[in-house]
Amino acid sequence: MGFRFTNWWGLSVLLVVEIATPRAIAQITVQVHNSARMSPSVLRQGEAEAARILADAGIDVVWVSCPSNPTVVSDCLGFTPNEFSLHIVSDGRTLNDSVFGQAFLGDGGIGKFCDVFFRRIERAWQDSGTDPALLLGAIAAHELGHLLLGSNAHSQVGIMQPVWPRKNLRAIDRGTLLFTREQAARMKARLARRANSALVKPENPGQLFLRLRLLE
């Protein structure tokens, strides 16, 4: 009987948490520049995975397909307060091979731009078998997480770990590498403040890198 009672208690706690954690209540727009010319289907699947990860944190994503070269004049050059840029580039030429993405933050943790290095994702796929679209989605979500969380975004657990050990690839395959509840609350609070501000600060970005350790 005691065991059964414990089960019911666990179930009721889960239900309360589920009801008390509203899903998507904030929205961002992400302009996507595909300079790596990756397959459109992999890109769409990667966007869907990043959207799923962010939706788990209560954030809806609207994706906007932009010219592969971000400097080409288009509607994608302007930004509303909750609008960001994701640039899929072939390689991070000046960075170590273990770096898979970078975000650019300026003073006060304000930033709009992040990059993902697609050739390295392809190599990780060849080395580990991790689905490239799922890996792209997880890395994009991590880099967007930097832009949404601002300074001190890294954590010891979840998708904002600064270095991903091989076990994270298994979590990516299972779809369980996610933002923490605290990070979700921080992102939504920060987005609400941005939405109320018409001023987008100019960029003077520093860089933050995401590294994967594939040899563990």
List of residues contacting Zn ion (CB under 5 A): 208, 210
Closest CA to 111 of 148, 78, 76: 148
Cα gap 32→74, rounded to integer Å: 12
Minimal distance in Å, beta carbon 60 to Zn ion?
A: 22
Minimal distance in Å, beta carbon 162 to Zn ion?
A: 5
First and final C-alpha spacing in the chain: 44
Minimal distance in Å, beta carbon 173 to Zn ion?
A: 20
Tell me the residue number closest to Zn ion, measured at CB.
210
Measured from the CB atom, is 62 or 163 closer to Zn ion?
Answer: 163
Measured from the CB atom, is 28 or 116 closer to Zn ion?
Answer: 116
Measured from the CB atom, is 66 or 104 closer to Zn ion?
Answer: 104
Minimal distance in Å, beta carbon 1 to Zn ion?
A: 48
Minimal distance in Å, beta carbon 102 to Zn ion?
A: 8
Name 205's Cβ contacts closer than 8 Å, sequence gap at least 6.
104, 105, 106, 111, 113
Sign (positive/negative) of CA torsion 45, 161, 86, 69? negative
Measured from the CB atom, is 118 or 164 closer to Zn ion?
Answer: 164
Pair 52, 159: CB distance under 8 Å: no
Measured from the CB atom, is 67 or 205 closer to Zn ion?
Answer: 205
- Tell me phi and psi for residue 146, to 5 degrees: -60, -45
97 vs 140, 146, 152, CA distance in Å? 17, 20, 24
